[in-house]
Every structure is written in C-alpha cells, then in structure tokens.
C-alpha cells in the first residue's frame, strides 16, 4: 500500500460512536480495522480503487459527489483494512425519504454496486457491520445491489439482468457476433444520413436532456432533475470519466446517450431519443460507433446497464449485440422484522398511463420533488 493509502486511513473517521462492539471480536482477531469513509473528502480515493480492482464508477468519489450534490445524501462507505491494505468495501448512502422509513442504500440510482470482498474474509460476519450501522443511523431498511454480502439462498427483493460486451476481441469478430437485424439497422442509419457526434459540452448535455425527457414521457416516468445531469457533466464528463454521444439528422439531434467509464469498463448509463425518428435506427449506429471508439481507446468491457427481467423487448435488443447476460439480485433487509423482504414496483401501469398524458413541464416538476426520496 502506498503513502496515499496510508494517508487516507489516517484521515478517515473512526467507527460510528455508540455502536455496540461485541461483534467486532471476529474482525479484531483477523487484524482487521473497521472504518467509515466519505470518499468526497479524499482526493486519492479513486486511485486506490483502481489499484485494488473489482470496483467501478459507482464506487468512485465522482459518483458520490453527484448523488450528494443533487440529493443531499450522506455517503457512509464501509471498509475493512488490514494494516494499510483494503480488504472490504461496500459504499452506502443514508437516504431519508419524506414521510417514509429511512434507508441505507448501496447505492441510489446505481445499476449495480457490488461489495469488494477479499476471498479469505468472505466468511466473516460482514452483514453484521451493516445491521449495526443501520441501527445506529436509524434505518428501517438496508438495500443492496449485488450478491456479495447476503448469505446463499437469501430471497432477493427484485432481480434485473445485465448485458456485457467484451471489447478485447477484434472489431470484425465483434460485428460478426451482432444479430443480423442489428447489422441491417446500422446500415439503415448510415443510408439515412444519420451522423454521430461525441460532444462533451454543456450544450450537448442540454440537447441530451431534452431527448431524455421525451423518452421518460413515453415510458410514463418523470425524468431525473436537470441539476442531476448538470452534476454528472461537471463531476464525470469534465473529469474525463464520461461521454455524451448524439445522433443527428439534418442538424437536429434525434437520439443520445451518456456513457460512464472507469478503469477498463464502460457503462451505457442513459439513453433518450425522439420516437418519431425511430425508423432511422439512430441508436444502432450510435452504439456501434461507441463500441468502435471505446475499443480504440483501450476499454475492455461495455456494460449495457441493468434491465428489468419483465422487459423482454429491451433484453432482446441488448442480446442482439452479442453480449453476455447475467442476473443481478437486489436485496432489501427489514431491520425491525430482521428478515429480507420483497419490494414492490414504484410505478404501476395505471400511474404510468397517467404520466404519459402529462406535459413535460409537469413531469419535470414531479421528478424534482420525488427523486430525492426514491433512491
């Protein structure tokens, strides 16, 4: 471990005061030290993550800043150290919904945020840390997005699929793996004179946000607040950890996407478009050019984000790129009932139908009011 790691350890706060400590015996016996960290306070945090591996953009300080600046969430990143070596990491955010139970989430608005766990400490009572932290913080629920902490056979609250494309293969081999209709749709976009531009400017973010709002309205959902995307722009895009791609026809943006990247992994995080221009297949060409760009700069994996397993149309689309499909489990633990529970969907079909009929300005106002409490 370098001097930067040691400095980080010295600067972090000690364990939350007042927590019962009898359960710490197992960790003390293994020479492990528990620390709760706010990554925003440490300029070396992201460098430490990259040296340890098995982490991504959602574990980073830049993502912590986006969530904290937009919604006021308090980061509490749970770590175990052996000397100056990081052995365990689980990012958590303290979320306080208005009129609802307080929660600890790992992490809000993150497709996945698996714990980093050294294999030789996996049998230690890691979930006990979270339970004690949750009781100290007054949480009713603990929400996890990954399988590293809960015991086997634990019931997930909900299940999503993820799709990842390995970019280390030659480009020709990658294209051979695309479904035939994907190749056809790329040609349709090219013949339709769709042009793709990577433009990391605030103007490009504004163009993307308009397309994002159109897509959310079509889905019957409010968009995230504009300030969220402004913070994404400042904290991620301007830090060379994200890109904005826009598809144009006759000088007008008709589709867009935002990609995050960290270490060697790219995440297709947000997309939006004008459904009236769908026949031109702009998203197919956009993704194809993004694949070429990220392979060219040395990225090794492109994750297409999470997908609700009930959304078979979107799953079919993501499979068409020759991706590897995996399931990712989310968990919700009730600290009062002391058990893992199922979680209901936030927006019913009836609510979505109502949302589709509202003007975009109304949907944006709803997003401003509600997203902070959704997590």
* pLDDT tens profile 347-373: 688 989 999 999 999 999 999 999 988
pLDDT at position 24 is: 57
pLDDT at position 84 is: 81
- Averaged pLDDT for residues 235-262: 97
Joined together, the tokens standing for residue 254 give 């008709």
**Lowest mean pLDDT, pick from 19-33, 95-109, 180-194:** 19-33
pLDDT at position 297 is: 96
Instruction: Give me the residue label for tokens 């509202």.
Output: 358
- Averaged pLDDT for residues 217-244: 97
How far, CA to CA in Å, does 15 sit from each of 2, 79, 125, 247?
A: 23, 10, 16, 49
- Averaged pLDDT for residues 333-341: 93
pLDDT at position 120 is: 76
pLDDT at position 104 is: 95
pLDDT at position 26 is: 59
pLDDT band, residue 152 (cuts 50/70/90): low
* Angstrom distance (rounded) from CA 280 to CA 45: 43
pTM, two decimal places: 0.90
Residue 262: pLDDT over 90: yes
**Lowest mean pLDDT, pick from 1-15, 97-111, 195-209, 217-231:** 1-15
* Angstrom distance (rounded) from CA 55 to CA 319: 24
Better-scored residue on pLDDT, 54 or 205: 205
Please give the CATH topology (third level) of the domain spanning 3-149.
Aminopeptidase (3.40.630)
Buried b / exposed e along 157-191 (16+ C-beta atoms within 10 A): bbebbbbbbebeeeeeebbeebeeebeebbebbee
Better-scored residue on pLDDT, 374 or 293: 293
* Angstrom distance (rounded) from CA 14 to CA 20: 14
pLDDT at position 29 is: 56
pLDDT at position 214 is: 96
Alpha helices in the chain (DSSP H): 3-11, 25-29, 45-52, 61-71, 126-137, 171-176, 180-191, 202-219, 226-232, 282-296, 312-319, 349-357, 360-374
pLDDT at position 146 is: 83
- Is 3.40.630.30 the CATH number for 161-328? yes
- Residue ranges covered by each domain of the chain: 3-149, 161-328
3-149 and 161-328 agree in CATH topology = yes
* Angstrom distance (rounded) from CA 260 to CA 237: 8
Residue 48: pLDDT over 90: no
Better-scored residue on pLDDT, 8 or 47: 47
- Averaged pLDDT for residues 183-199: 97
Q: Alpha carbon 43 to chain centroid distance?
A: 21
């Amino acid at each position: 471990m370098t001097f930067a790691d040691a400095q980080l350890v010295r600067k972090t706060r000690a364990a939350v005061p007042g927590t019962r400590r009898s359960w710490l015996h197992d960790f003390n016996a293994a020479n492990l030290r528990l620390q709760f960290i706010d990554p925003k306070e440490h300029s070396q945090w992201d460098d430490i993550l990259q040296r340890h591996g098995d982490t991504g953009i959602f574990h980073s300080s830049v993502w912590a800043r986006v969530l904290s600046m937009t919604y006021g969430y308090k980061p509490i990143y749970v770590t175990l150290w052996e000397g100056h070596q990081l052995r365990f990491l689980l990012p958590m955010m303290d979320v306080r919904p208005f009129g609802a139970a307080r929660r600890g989430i790992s992490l809000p608005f993150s497709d996945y945020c698996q714990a980093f766990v050294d294999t030789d400490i996996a049998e230690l009572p890691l979930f006990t840390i979270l339970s004690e932290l949750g009781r100290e913080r007054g949480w009713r629920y603990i929400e996890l997005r990954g399988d590293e902490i809960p015991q086997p056979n634990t019931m997930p609250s909900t299940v999503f699929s993820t799709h990842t494309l390995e970019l280390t293969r030659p480009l020709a081999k990658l294209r051979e793996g695309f479904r035939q209709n994907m190749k056809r749709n790329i040609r349709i976009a090219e013949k339709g004179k769709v042009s793709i531009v990577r433009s990391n400017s605030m103007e490009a973010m504004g163009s993307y946000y308009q397309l994002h709002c159109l897509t959310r309205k079509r889905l019957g959902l409010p968009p995230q607040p504009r300030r969220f995307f402004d913070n994404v722009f400042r904290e991620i895009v301007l830090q060379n950890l994200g890109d904005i791609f826009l598809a144009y026809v006759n000088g007008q943006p008709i589709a867009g996407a935002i990609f995050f990247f960290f270490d060697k992994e790219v995440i297709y995080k947000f997309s939006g478009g004008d459904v009236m221009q769908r026949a031109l297949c702009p998203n197919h060409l956009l993704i194809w050019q993004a694949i070429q760009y990220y392979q060219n700069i040395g990225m090794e994996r492109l994750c297409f984000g999470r997908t609700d397993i009930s959304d078979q149309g979107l799953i079919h689309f993501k499979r068409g790129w020759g991706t590897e499909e995996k399931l990712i489990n989310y968990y919700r633990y009730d600290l009062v009932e002391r058990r893992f529970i199922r979680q209901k969907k936030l927006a019913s079909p009836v609510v979505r139908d109502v949302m589709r009929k509202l003007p975009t300005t109304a949907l944006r106002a709803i997003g401003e009011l509600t997203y902070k409490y959704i997590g």
